[in-house]
Structure 1
Amino acid sequence: MGVERPWLAHYPKNVPAEIDLNRYASVVSVIDEACLRFAQRPAYGNYGHVLSYAEIDRLSAQFAAYLGGTLGLAKGDRIAIMLPNILQYPIVLFGALRAGLVVVNTNPLYTARELEHQLKDSGAKAIVVLENFAGVLQGVITHTDVRHVVVTSLGEMLGTLKGALINFAVRHVRKMVPPWQLPGAVSLHQALVLGAGQARPQVALGHDDLAFLQYTGGTTGVAKGAMLSHGNMVANMLQASTWIQSVLHEGEEVIVTALPLYHIFSLTANCFTFLKTGGYAYLITNPRDMPGFVKELRQLRFTAITGVNTLFNGLLNTPGFNDLDFSHLRMTLGGGMAVQRAVAERWKQVTGCTLVEAYGLTETSPAVCINPLDLAAYNGSIGLPVPSTEVCVQDDSGTLLATGEIGELCVKGPQVMQGYWNRADETAKVMDSGGWLHTGDIARMDSNGFFYIVDRKKDMILVSGFNVYPNEVEDVMAACPGVLEVAAIGVPDDKSGEAVKLFVVRKNPALTEAEVRDYAKANLTGYKRPHIVEFRDSLPKTNVGKILRRELRASPGS
C-alpha cells in the first residue's frame, strides 16, 4: 500500500526526500569516521571533565580488545550496560559495538526482578555496571547467563583527584553504594589495561547485523527486546542529521544530555546523531537535582538540548535558570512524551528558542516525525515524517484513511525494527505483512502532512517519557500480601504528564496504603510505582471477568 506524501512540500530547505542508507556499513563506521575527523574536538564531558574524540577512540578500542581478546566474546554475543550518564558509557558502548557485540541497554534503577528478566531474556554473557547498583546484580546473577562482570565507580573517569573525592563522597558521605560481592568482577580500569596490550578486533558488520536489544514494555506486561540493527540505527542517524543540518553546524555544537543514554531518544539523538556531526555531548548524571543541573549549565555555552516535557518544566521552575546565557541555543527538541503548550510557550519566552516536538518509538530507532526546527512557535503537532519514511493513518481493518480522519498511526521505513527478540507472536501483533508497524497511537494528518497525536489505542501509561504498562504493574501488585484484585490506569499529572493510579480490592481488611506502597517500592522501578492508591470493594468487569479499565478511567476522581 503506497501513500501520498504531502509533507515533502513542507520539508525544511535542503532536506532530501530520501537518505543514502549505503553511506555507512554500520554504526561502527560512523564511530570510526567521527573519531578520525574530529580527533581533537571535545566529545563528552561530565562533572567538568572532558574526553576528546581521540581519547574516546583509544579507550573504546581498548575495551573492544578486552571484550574480544581477554574475554573471547564473539560477534552477536550480548552485553548489558547498566550505567547512568557518565563518561564510561560511550567508552563501553563504542567498545562493545566495535567488538561486534549486541548492546542490551539496562536501566540502572531496575529492581532485581526487572533486571533478572532482562538479563535472562537477552541471554547477556557480560555486563558493565556502576558499583552503586552492583548489589542488585549480585542478587540475580546466578539465575542468568552472565559470566563476565565489569564494575565501575562514579569518579573512575574524572581524573585522579576529582575522581577520588567524588568516590569518597558517594561511598562514605552519601552512602550511595550498598555492600556487594561479585566474585571475578574486574574494574573498568583493569579491563582497559588488559585491552591496551591487544589489537582491536576487526569485525565485519553490515546493515542486517544486530546492534541493540532495546527493551520496551508490551500489552502483555512483559518487557520485550526490540531488535535494532546497524541498518536501523544508521538510517535514523542519517534521517535526523539531515533534518537538523540547516540549523546546526558541524564540529561546533554543544548538546546538553540530561536524558539517560540508555533511553532510545537520547541514544540516537544525543549520542549518535551529534557524534556524526562532531558535537560535544555534556552528560548530566542526575538531572533530578535541578539546582545542580542549572549550576552545570551555567558553565556551558550550549547550543542544543533535548528532553521530555517534565525536564523542561522542571528547569523553568528552578531558580537561576532564567538567568542563564541562551544566546547560543539554536535547538530545543522535545520527545518521549507529549509537550504541553504552556511549557513550550514559556520555554520560548525564557530562552528565545522554540521547543520543537518530535515523535518516535523504541521500535523505530526512534525518530518517525520531527517538526521543522525553524518553527516560529509551538504548533501542537508531532511534525513531518523524516526522509525515507512513510506514515499513514489506518482504521482497524487496515484501510487507509483520508486527510483529517482519525485512526491508528502506522509507519514504514528503514528505521523500523527487525522485530521483537524471540517473540514472533508479539512481532506479528504490531507488524503486518506489508511492512507497516502499527504504533497503537491514534492520530490524524492535516493537508500539509503534519501529524497530530489524538489519543492512545493501548492502555499504556506514559510517565516522564517512559512507558508503563498496566499489566506489568497489576501482575506485580497482585502478589502483594493482603491483595485480592488490582487494576492500574494512567491519570493526568502536572509533573510527569501521567502517573500510575492503582485500584486495590483487599483480601485482608487490615491492609494499609503504606504496605501497598512499600511492596511497590521493593518490586517496581520508581516511575512504575503507583502515585495514587485507591481501595475499592470491587472492580468493574466484563461478563468473562476482564477488568474494565475504561470504566475506572471514567470514574470520579480518575
Structure 2
Amino acid sequence: MSETTTAMLEGPILERDDGYRSILDVFEKACAQYAHRPAFTCMDSTLTYAEMKTLVDRFAHWIIEQTDMSPGDRLAIVLPNLLQYPVAVFGALKAGLVIVNTNPLYTADEMYHQFADAGISGVVVFAHMAHKLEAVLKRLPIAHVVITEVADLHPLPSRLKYNLGARYIARQVPRYHLPDAISMRQILKQKGQVDDRRWGRDDDLAILQYTGGTTGTPKGAMLSHANLVANMRQTGEVLGGAVTRGQETIIAPLPVYHIYTFTVNCMFGCETGNHSILIPNPKDLDSFVKTLGKQPFSAFIGLNTLFAALCRRDDFRKLDFSHLKLSVSGGMALNTTTANRWYEVTGSAVLEGYGMTETSPVVCVNPPDRIQPGAIGRPVAGTRLKVLDDNDQPLGYDTPGELCVQGPQVMKGYWNLPEETAKTLSEDGWVRSGDIAVLQKDGFVRIVDRKKDMIVSSGFNVYPNEVEDVLLRHEDIHEATVIGVPDEDAGESVVAFIVPRNGANLDAAALKQWCRQELTGYKVPRRFEFRDQLPRSTVGKVLRRALRDELAGDHRQNAS
C-alpha cells in the first residue's frame, strides 16, 4: 500500500516536563505546594493535602517498620471511593510496593483468582467485603490484612454515625472472622515518617491493573511510574488550560480503583492541587444529587450511563451549574442523545475521550475549545495511532480498522503472560486496542465498535453502536443494546435488547420499520428482546457477553 493512502495520526510533542520520575514525586510536590487546600472529600469529611501527607507517611511507616513486605511486593486494595483509598495507595507506593487495584464487588472466587495471579503479600479491605476475604484466606494465605470501615477517617461524631449505622442499623457488614487482621485506624494512630529511598521510579512497576471482565478472563496490565506520570502530563496538556490550579472542585463518581478515575483524580487532580469529591455509591442517585447540591463544583468526570441517569431527575436539573466548566466522558461510548441532553441541562458540553487499561489509560481527548460530537478526539501528546486490517496491513483515512497505539503511556506488558503480551504488544511498542476505529484527515478519531462485538451478517459488517444510536432516537426507548447471535443462513443475525421508557408498550414490527428508515436492511435487528434493565459491569458498561450467554442458554434449553 502506498504511503499516500496509509493513515497515521500523531499527537503534539510532549513538551512539559516537571521533573517527575515517580507518582510519589507528584504527590509530595502537591502536598508541599497546596498543603492547606482540600485534597479529597467523602461524605462531608475532608482531608487537606497536609493531612493526607501525614496519614500517607504513617501508612508507609507501618509497612516498612512492622511488616516484612519489601519493594516490589504486591498489595491489593479492595476499597470503594473512600478517603482511605488515596491514603492506602500513596502510602503503599511510598513504601515501594506495587498496587493491585481490586473491585470490592468481586465475589470471593474472583478475588482469589486475582490475588493468586498477582501473588499479593498484603491486602487492604473494606469491612463490608471482609467476609469474602475470609473465604479467600481458606484457599490462599495472605500475610498482612488491613481492615477499614466506611468512616474510619472521619472526625468522631461522623465516624460513629456512619460506622455504627452501617454495621447495626443498615446491617451492611456481614459477619467475618479475621483474627490476624489489623484495623487501618490503629495503623494511622502510629506516628512515623519515611524518606524516598524505597520509592519506585521511571520504569519500575507501580500498578497491576487488571483489565475489565467484559472481555473474558482479566489480565494484569503492568503500568510503570513512567507510564502513569506520562499519562498525567498528557491529560494536563489537553485539560490544563480549562482548569485553574488549586481552585477546582472535581466530582468523582466513578470507582477510583478504575484506571480512568485514578489518572484523572489521583494523578492530574493532585498535580494541579485541586479538590476531588469522592462518591462512594453513585447508584444511590438520591444521595448523589444531595451531595452535588452541597457545594459548587467545576468539573464532572463521568460516563454515558451516569450522565443519562442524572439528566432524567428533576432534583438534578434544579441544581446550580453556573460553576461547571468541564464535563469529561470516558469508559464507554458517549451517545449523541445523552451528550445533547447533558448540555441542555447543565450548559456544559461533554468532552469525550478514549483510553484503555493498557494505555494508563488516556489515548485521545476532544480539545475543550474544539469538541467534535461523535468523535473521541485527537491523540494526546506523544501518541501515535494507526489502523490495521485483518491481515495486519495499514489502512487509509476514513477506513475502519483495528486501532493501534504507540506512546509513553503504553504498558510494559501483561503480568506473567508473555504469550498474551506478544499478541497485544509489538516489539516496537504498538498495542492493539481490539477496537474498530476510523482515523480522519482532520486529526480526529471515531470509534466504530469493539472488534469482538462487530457482527458479520451475510458477509456484511454490522457495528452495534450504529444500530443502538438509531434505536435510542426513538422516544419510547430508554436503553438499547445490540448483539450478534449465530444464524444458519446469515452467519450472524442482529438482536436488539430494549428497555422501554416509562413502561411504554413497544411493538417489534413497528421498531423494525423504524430502523428501516435509518439503516440498510442487513443492519436492522431481526429480533427484539424487551427487558426491565440490562446487565452492567461495576463502571456501568452493558455486559453484551451476559446477553449472548442468556440467548445461548435459551437456545440450548429449547433444543433439549
Whichever residue aligns with residue 235 of structure 2, its letter is A
Map of 2:114 onto structure 1: 118
> Unmatched 5+ residue regions in structure 1?
9-15, 463-469, 471-488, 496-519, 542-558
Quickly say closer, same or farther: Cα 1:133–1:491, change in 2 above 3 A.
Answer: farther
The 8 Å contact of residues 64 and 98 in structure 1, kept in 2 or not, is answered as yes
Quickly say closer, same or farther: Cα 1:44–1:350, change in 2 above 3 A.
Answer: same
Instruction: Give secondary structure in 2 for the equivalent of 1:90.
Output: helix
Whichever residue aligns with residue 114 of structure 1, its letter is E
Per the TM alignment, residue 374 of structure 1 is displaced from its structure 2 partner at its CA by 2.0
Report Cα offsets for 1:56-83 as digits up to 9, x if no partner: 0110011001111111321100000000
Per the TM alignment, residue 396 of structure 1 is displaced from its structure 2 partner at its CA by 2.2
Per the TM alignment, residue 291 of structure 1 is displaced from its structure 2 partner at its CA by 1.3
Instruction: Give secondary structure in 1 for the equivalent of 2:123.
Output: strand
* 227-236 or 71-80, larger mean C-alpha shift: 71-80
Superposed, 1:470-481 pairs within 5 Å as none
Report Cα offsets for 1:156-177 as digits up to 9, x if no partner: 1121011101111111111000
Map of 2:520 onto structure 1: none
Whichever residue aligns with residue 89 of structure 1, its letter is Y
Q: Is 1:211–2:206 an aligned residue pair?
A: yes
Mapped to 2, the partners of 1:455 and 1:158 lie a distance apart of 44
The 8 Å contact of residues 123 and 144 in structure 1, kept in 2 or not, is answered as no
Q: Is 1:73–2:78 an aligned residue pair?
A: no
Map of 1:309 onto structure 2: 304
The 8 Å contact of residues 19 and 239 in structure 1, kept in 2 or not, is answered as no
Q: 1:348 aligns with which of 336, 343, 348?
A: 343
Quickly say closer, same or farther: Cα 1:266–1:380, change in 2 above 3 A.
Answer: same
Q: 1:457 aligns with which of 448, 451, 461?
A: 451
Map of 2:411 onto structure 1: 417
Mapped to 2, the partners of 1:247 and 1:494 lie a distance apart of 37
Report Cα offsets for 1:99-157 as digits up to 9, x if no partner: 11100000000001100001100011110011000000000123224210110001111
Q: 1:50 aligns with which of 46, 66, 82?
A: 46
Q: Is 1:86–2:82 an aligned residue pair?
A: yes
Q: 2:103 aligns with which of 81, 101, 107?
A: 107
Q: Is 1:160–2:156 an aligned residue pair?
A: yes
* 262-271 or 427-436, larger mean C-alpha shift: 427-436
Mapped to 2, the partners of 1:177 and 1:338 lie a distance apart of 35
Map of 1:506 onto structure 2: none
Per the TM alignment, residue 491 of structure 1 is displaced from its structure 2 partner at its CA by 5.8
Q: Is 1:384–2:355 an aligned residue pair?
A: no
Whichever residue aligns with residue 296 of structure 2, its letter is R
Mapped to 2, the partners of 1:357 and 1:492 lie a distance apart of 25
Structure 1 vs Structure 2 CA RMSD: 2.9
Map of 1:407 onto structure 2: 401
Q: Is 1:357–2:352 an aligned residue pair?
A: yes
Q: 1:438 aligns with which of 432, 448, 464?
A: 432
Q: 2:388 aligns with which of 370, 391, 394?
A: 394
Mapped to 1, the partners of 2:62 and 2:103 lie a distance apart of 24
TM-score (norm. length: structure 1): 0.81
Q: Is 1:448–2:448 an aligned residue pair?
A: no
Map of 1:482 onto structure 2: none
Mapped to 2, the partners of 1:307 and 1:240 lie a distance apart of 16
Mapped to 2, the partners of 1:93 and 1:433 lie a distance apart of 31
Per the TM alignment, residue 193 of structure 1 is displaced from its structure 2 partner at its CA by 2.4
Per the TM alignment, residue 492 of structure 1 is displaced from its structure 2 partner at its CA by 5.1
Q: 1:269 aligns with which of 264, 270, 294?
A: 264
Map of 2:525 onto structure 1: none
Quickly say closer, same or farther: Cα 1:4–1:240, change in 2 above 3 A.
Answer: same
Mapped to 1, the partners of 2:305 and 2:498 lie a distance apart of 10
Whichever residue aligns with residue 346 of structure 2, its letter is T
Quickly say closer, same or farther: Cα 1:176–1:491, change in 2 above 3 A.
Answer: farther
Per the TM alignment, residue 239 of structure 1 is displaced from its structure 2 partner at its CA by 0.2
Map of 1:133 onto structure 2: 129
Per the TM alignment, residue 5 of structure 1 is displaced from its structure 2 partner at its CA by 5.8
Per the TM alignment, residue 451 of structure 1 is displaced from its structure 2 partner at its CA by 0.5
Whichever residue aligns with residue 121 of structure 1, its letter is D
Q: 1:27 aligns with which of 11, 23, 26?
A: 23
Per the TM alignment, residue 308 of structure 1 is displaced from its structure 2 partner at its CA by 1.0
Per the TM alignment, residue 182 of structure 1 is displaced from its structure 2 partner at its CA by 0.8
Mapped to 1, the partners of 2:242 and 2:18 lie a distance apart of 25
Seq. identity, % = 43
Instruction: Give secondary structure in 2 for the equivalent of 1:246.
Output: helix
Tell me the matched-pair count.
481
Whichever residue aligns with residue 67 of structure 2, its letter is L
Mapped to 1, the partners of 2:495 and 2:195 lie a distance apart of 48
Map of 1:486 onto structure 2: none
> Unmatched 5+ residue regions in structure 2?
455-463, 466-482, 484-493, 501-534
Superposed, 1:208-357 pairs within 5 Å as 208-217=203-212, 221-357=216-352
Quickly say closer, same or farther: Cα 1:423–1:71, change in 2 above 3 A.
Answer: same
Whichever residue aligns with residue 233 of structure 1, its letter is L
Per the TM alignment, residue 208 of structure 1 is displaced from its structure 2 partner at its CA by 0.8
Whichever residue aligns with residue 182 of structure 2, its letter is V
Per the TM alignment, residue 459 of structure 1 is displaced from its structure 2 partner at its CA by 4.4
Mapped to 2, the partners of 1:300 and 1:410 lie a distance apart of 41
The 8 Å contact of residues 43 and 275 in structure 1, kept in 2 or not, is answered as yes
The 8 Å contact of residues 21 and 234 in structure 1, kept in 2 or not, is answered as no
Quickly say closer, same or farther: Cα 1:232–1:490, change in 2 above 3 A.
Answer: farther
Mapped to 1, the partners of 2:213 and 2:171 lie a distance apart of 36
Mapped to 2, the partners of 1:49 and 1:220 lie a distance apart of 37
Report Cα offsets for 1:199-246 as digits up to 9, x if no partner: 456314321100000001579832110000000000000000111111
The 8 Å contact of residues 68 and 201 in structure 1, kept in 2 or not, is answered as no
Report Cα offsets for 1:327-360 as digits up to 9, x if no partner: 1111100010000110100101111110110000
Whichever residue aligns with residue 225 of structure 2, its letter is H
Mapped to 2, the partners of 1:22 and 1:41 lie a distance apart of 21
Instruction: Give secondary structure in 2 for the equivalent of 1:315.
Output: helix
Quickly say closer, same or farther: Cα 1:208–1:169, change in 2 above 3 A.
Answer: same
Mapped to 2, the partners of 1:428 and 1:52 lie a distance apart of 44
The 8 Å contact of residues 57 and 193 in structure 2, kept in 1 or not, is answered as no
Whichever residue aligns with residue 252 of structure 1, its letter is Q
Report Cα offsets for 1:433-471 as digits up to 9, x if no partner: 332101110111111110101121124999xxxxxxx9x
Instruction: Give secondary structure in 1 for the equivalent of 2:68.
Output: coil
Instruction: Give secondary structure in 1 for the equivalent of 2:419.
Output: helix
Instruction: Give secondary structure in 1 for the equivalent of 2:443.
Output: coil
Whichever residue aligns with residue 386 of structure 2, its letter is C
Q: 1:181 aligns with which of 177, 181, 192?
A: 177
Whichever residue aligns with residue 139 of structure 2, its letter is H
Q: 1:38 aligns with which of 29, 34, 41?
A: 34
Per the TM alignment, residue 6 of structure 1 is displaced from its structure 2 partner at its CA by 5.6
Mapped to 2, the partners of 1:493 and 1:337 lie a distance apart of 18
Mapped to 2, the partners of 1:17 and 1:221 lie a distance apart of 35
The 8 Å contact of residues 404 and 445 in structure 1, kept in 2 or not, is answered as yes
The 8 Å contact of residues 80 and 126 in structure 1, kept in 2 or not, is answered as yes
